[in-house]
Structure 1
Amino acid sequence: MSIEKSLRKRSQDKCELCAATESLRVMEVSPSDGSAEKSILLCATCEVQINGAELDANHWRCLNDSMWSQEAVVQVISYRMLHKLSVEYSWAQDLIDMMYLEDEIKAWADEGIEFIDPDLEPTKDCNGTALKDGDMVHLIKDLVVKGANFTAKRGTPVRNISLTSNPEHIEGRVNGTRIVLVAAYLKKSV
């Protein structure tokens, strides 16, 4: 059976991301071995935007459903697209925070993402340890969170952090609220 026939059967003749039924195409997901497991059936709209066209954020609301697919390749593309969108849209970062990927699938998804601009100064915690997206940190002092009416207590864990363009700040979720934190008040968890 050809890859396209296999993918059409797997997806029930629908785009595996947005469920569109027209202009379906096969796209290999890097690193690819030419198999159906590393290929995805996409509509023209999804394919064009994945390959670098300007993103239509409303179109990508479909990832709220497709990120839960049982197919690893669909999870990988969903994660990569959410990561692209999270630069401008907080809803995309919220979906990433909810998403769970097996270690092997996350490593595959991360291969297609440029996490850190090599020209940027690295973000470091209070001990000078470099931080990266997805790390877990702990607060080293109580911090009053302006506008949220709570104090983040020393020792509070912050999981799955996101780096910002400012190497002195990170973004993370504390008490269910996504906030910007000063990296100097954080310690990387081992």
Structure 2
Amino acid sequence: MEEQLLIRSENKCELCGSAGSLKLFEVLPHAGRTEDNCVMICDKCLAQVEKTEEPDLKHLNCLRTSIWSAVPGVQVITWRLLNRLKDENWAADSLDMMYLDEDTLAWAQAGLDEESNTANEVHKDCNGQLLETGNSVVLTKTLDVKGSSLSAKLGTVVKNIRLVENNTDQIEGKIEGQTIVILTRYVRKQS
């Protein structure tokens, strides 16, 4: 199927048109893997779709073009991304111009419902204990802090943590006066 999608996409990202490295992306929720619910997507667009990077408005301007795609999977991703950005005038205008048939719109909205349900998930430590803002945690692994010479040692206590919104895998805390992001799988709630 990947070969068929590369032919359809002309070896370009089906959102932004980039000829960079492409990945097959299955647009969920949908039953079965078909050409209609799979798209070829570049790393930059994938990071935007999966929210692993902050929204890059300059890059996401490509959605103004992808709204015209005839591929249902592309339409769904485009609609979802535009909905996340609907406070931007250009995104709201693009949403107004976009047409989705009833089934495709229902599919796109189902994905938004899943995203909002994910936002209601809770932060848990490595043992499955519920974490809340203000808790103290202990590091279960020595961590090198990106962009810094700081190394947070195993057993370090981090007091008064804050939960990272929209990402249940991360918390924020201060170590040696520096605020850092810590993955919840490397912390244990202090009793």
Paired amino acid for 2:26: E
Any stretches of 5+ residues in structure 1 without a counterpart?
120-190
Q: Deviations along 1:124-150, whole A, 9 cap, x unmatched?
A: xxxxxxxxxxxxxxxxxxxxxxxxxxx
**What do you get for the CA RMSD once the two structures are aligned?**
2.0
| Partner Cα distance (1:90, 1:115) in 2 | 25
**1:66 and 1:51 mapped to 2: Cα distance?**
18
- Report the CA distance between 1:36 and its aligned residue: 2.0
Ranges of 4+ aligned residues in structure 1 off by more than 4 Å: 115-119
Equivalent residue number for residue 157 of structure 1: none
Separation of aligned partners in 2, 1:73 and 1:61: 18
Question: Who is 2:137 aligned against?
Answer: none
1:95 counterpart = 2:70: no
TM-score w.r.t. structure 1 length?
Answer: 0.57
Structure 2: runs of 5+ lacking an equivalent: 121-191
Q: Which residue of 2 aligns with 1:65?
A: 65
Which residue number corresponds to residue 11 of structure 1?
A: 9
* CA deviation map 1:104-129 (0-9, x unaligned): 1111111111499799xxxxxxxxxx
Offset of 1:91 from its aligned partner? Answer: 1.3
Distance 1:37 1:116, change over 3 A: closer
- Alpha-carbon distance in 1 for matches of 2:116, 2:65: 30
Three-state SS of the structure 2 residue aligned to 1:22 is coil
Counterpart mapping for 1:12-161 below 5 A: 12-32=10-30, 33-52=32-51, 53-86=53-86, 88-114=87-113
Task: Output the CA distance in 1 between the equivalents of 2:113 and 2:42.
Answer: 25
Aligned length: 116
What is the rounded CA distance, in whole Å, between the counterparts of 1:101 and 1:51 in structure 2?
22
TM-score norm. by structure 2 comes to 0.57
Q: Percent identity?
A: 38
